[in-house]
Amino acid sequence: MMSRPGAPSPPHRLPIPRRPAATGHRITHGGTIQKRGSFSNFPIKTPPASRQSTNTGSSSNQQLNHAPLPLPSPPASAELGLEAAMQPDANAPSHRLARVAAHLRPQMEEGAVAFALRPAVCRAKGGAPGFKVAILGAAGGIGQPLSLLMKMNPLVSVLHLYDVVNTPGVTADISHMDTSAVVRGFLGAQQLDAALTGMDLVIIPAGVPRKPGMTRDDLFNINAGIVRTLCEGVSRCCPNAIVNLISNPVNSTVPIAAEVFKKAGTYDPKRLLGVTTLDVARANTFVAEVLGVDPRDVSVPVVGGHAGVTILPLLSQVTPPSSFTQDEIKYLTDRIQNGGTEVVEAKAGSGSATLSMAFAAAKFGDACLRAMRGDAGIVECSYVASEVTELPFFASKVRLGRGGAEEILPLGPLNDSERAGLEAAKKELSESIQKGIAFVNK
Ligand SMILES: NC(=O)c1ccc[n+]([C@@H]2O[C@H](COP(=O)([O-])OP(=O)(O)OC[C@H]3O[C@@H](n4cnc5c(N)ncnc54)[C@H](O)[C@@H]3O)[C@@H](O)[C@H]2O)c1
């Protein structure tokens, strides 16, 4: 892949990755480019100018001079203001490379954002078939490791990283991982719509975390507004996406999101899922410690909500079936309910759970993607619109399907202490839900 002296300069100097494979092509020894996926048997001769263009590593910091991007079925040129895209030479090698560049770094020029991120265009991108996933709050403590883990997920073809700070750096960093998902970064409110357009799954860890001494509800005033704004974007740009909501207080932010979607006329309760997977991960870990077994072999249903007493582990339903002493039940229930506080205090002011939360969110996101693909029998706990109690939202086991939470499973038989825990959980949950609904409707 050396450049050839004397060859004509391409019209655009492009910050192209050295390996065009990230675009869904691979270069064979014979100098042909083969597309991956459904076009894998369709070799395209690589013209010399194109090959030389891929060697302009020194230009990687230059702004792109975006050329019109050729598409199989381009939208009306008048609509796009890209008449040149319809010109006969639109498939010239330089244009192909410009398309790659615009697609990898759409935030560089506003015009390119508008063009490159239309749903029809997005669908044609990506290194492999798969889902388009956006992470909102991607530069944060949870967002960064979550972005890394989602970049590793083979079901993700396009990964959009959005935040109000630092996404260029996080995106550049993560985009060098040689996994198939194509990563694009979006910075600031003016790029929210571009980040969301065409997405299948939106994961939201945006917002402030707790400091020692704070409850999750203390975050309400800041995070409620952030979640409202981001969900308005989801309604505008990807109303059919499944939303995984992480921002605290989850007990209130999920009702907030539901109200936003209702106002926009896009609400589908199945597609809005509050992420409580970390409570389950903690429960599995702590129970496994007590039992002296591998946590991967343990499954503890955790129901109710995601704060204090609303986190209700159903220890009578642990798999494999296990019995616990009263002391063990008290120890485990306290530790599971206060696992978040344990981390907040250990971090001593520098934040709350981020790494374990990213792990949990990636696990839940993967479960959603597998269900969206059509895998059967995927059951996870999640805080969703529900009828298992008299409350409008409740966390319990849900069966995930192509459309999100397809079925909400019953709580199953509870023992006396769990029934008492349920009553305490419902009381607090009811107030948190009302607070969320009132915030949007005030
Ligand atoms: N559901 C759970 O189990 C769980 C567990 C842990 C933390 N959390 C919650 O997750 C949230 C994030 O925690 P963190 O530790 O990553 O916090 P953080 O402060 O490290 O990161 C939050 C990120 O959100 C970004 N952000 C702020 N406003 C935004 C906006 N309007 N649009 C997009 N991005 C915005 C910030 O710039 C930051 O990068 C907190 O609310 C925290 O309480 C939830």
* CA 209 to ligand 1 centroid distance, Å: 6
Q: How far is CA 370 from CA 155, 203, 234, 274, 435, in A?
A: 8, 15, 21, 18, 33
pLDDT band at 93 (very low <50, low <70, confident <90, very high): low
pLDDT band at 240 (very low <50, low <70, confident <90, very high): very high
Rounded CA-CA distance 321/328 in Å is 15
CATH of region 131-275: 3.40.50.720
Multiple choice CATH, 276-441, 3.40.50.720, 3.10.150.10, 3.90.110.10, 3.50.50.60: 3.90.110.10
Q: Whose CA is nearest to atom 40 of ligand 1?
A: 209
User: Residue 134 forms beta bridges with which residues?
Assistant: 160, 202
Q: At what angle do helices 220-237 and 416-441 cross, to 10 degrees?
A: 70
311 C-beta closer than 6 A to ligand 1: no
Rounded CA-CA distance 154/193 in Å is 25
Angle at 344 between CA 343 and CA 347, to 5 degrees: 80
pTM for this model (two decimals): 0.78
246 C-beta closer than 6 A to ligand 1: yes
* CA 73 to ligand 1 centroid distance, Å: 39
Across 46-55, 60-69, 207-216, 274-283, the highest mean pLDDT is recorded for 274-283
Residue 100 confidence (pLDDT): 63
What the block records as the tokens of 302 is: 């955790």
What the block records as the tokens of 203 is: 């994961």
Q: Are 183 and 150 in contact (CB under 8 A)?
A: no
Interval 151-191: pLDDT, tens: 999 999 999 999 999 999 999 999 999 999 999 999 999 99
The radius of gyration of the chain from alpha carbons, rounded to an integer in Å, stands at: 24
Q: Whose CA is nearest to atom 6 of ligand 1?
A: 353
354 C-beta closer than 6 A to ligand 1: yes
More confident residue, 273 or 33: 273
Domain boundaries, the chain: 131-275, 276-441
* CA 331 to ligand 1 centroid distance, Å: 29
Residue 63 confidence (pLDDT): 28
Rounded CA-CA distance 256/263 in Å is 11
* CA 206 to ligand 1 centroid distance, Å: 4
Question: Is residue 116 over pLDDT 90?
Answer: no
**Could you tell which of 164, 282, 337 is best to mutate to test the pocket of ligand 1, judged by most ligand atoms within 8 Å of the CB?**
164
User: Residue 183 forms beta bridges with which residues?
Assistant: 159
Which residues are designated catalytic?
Answer: 306
207 C-beta closer than 6 A to ligand 1: yes
276-441 and 131-275 share a CATH fold: no
- Of 313, 310, 252, 336, the C-alpha closest to 426 is 310
235 C-beta closer than 6 A to ligand 1: no
